[in-house]
Amino acid sequence: MSVVSAAKTILEADATLVAAATGGIYDLGETGPNGISRTTTPDAFDANEIIKPCILVKTRGATPDGALVDEAEQYVSVRQVLEVWLYEARGYSNIDTMKDRVYALLHTVQLSDTFMVLWAGDLGQQRDTDLDASLDRSEFAVHTFKS
């Protein structure tokens, strides 16, 4: 199971988060490379095409972290950043609620084939002009290995 799939499964299993994310919880496999849009994720928008509170989960590429290396076994530890993008139409109250819940669900957990997931920071309050939406992003460091 991929890091995104494992994290998304945890998020979708939480009734509190699902109740807050009325527009849904998505990954790039569902949205396509451009993320949340009125075309690829119509359930994330109301009848007036205004975005509902929703979440997009994705990762950045894995990079070696140098903590563990075994040349004979071709084993190396890597760090991958899990990004959790949070959206709502106006303001940040729903975003803050979802962000706090995502932190509670992911920080210090161990996903399949990973070491402990650790919160690595937040982007802060931003605006997505394409979606006409408020947004924030929480990042989590996922340490795993490649062999």
The pLDDT of residue 1 is: 57
Count how many domains the chain has.
1
70, with CB counted inside 10 A (0-12, 13-18, 19+), is exposed
Residue 142's domain comprises 3-146
Whichever domain contains 111, its CATH number is: 3.30.2000.10
pLDDT tens sequence across 25-82: 999 888 988 899 999 999 999 999 999 999 999 999 888 777 766 677 777 888 899 9
Q: Which two tokens stand for residue 58?
A: 């994705």
CA 27 to chain centre: 8
42, with CB counted inside 10 A (0-12, 13-18, 19+), is exposed
The pLDDT of residue 89 is: 95
The pLDDT of residue 98 is: 97
Distance between CA atoms of residues 35 and 31, nearest Å:
5
Distance between CA atoms of residues 66 and 69, nearest Å:
7
What residues have CB less than 8 Å from 145, skipping those under 6 apart?
68, 75, 76, 77, 78
Say what the pTM is.
0.90
**Would you give the DSSP letter of residue 18?**
H
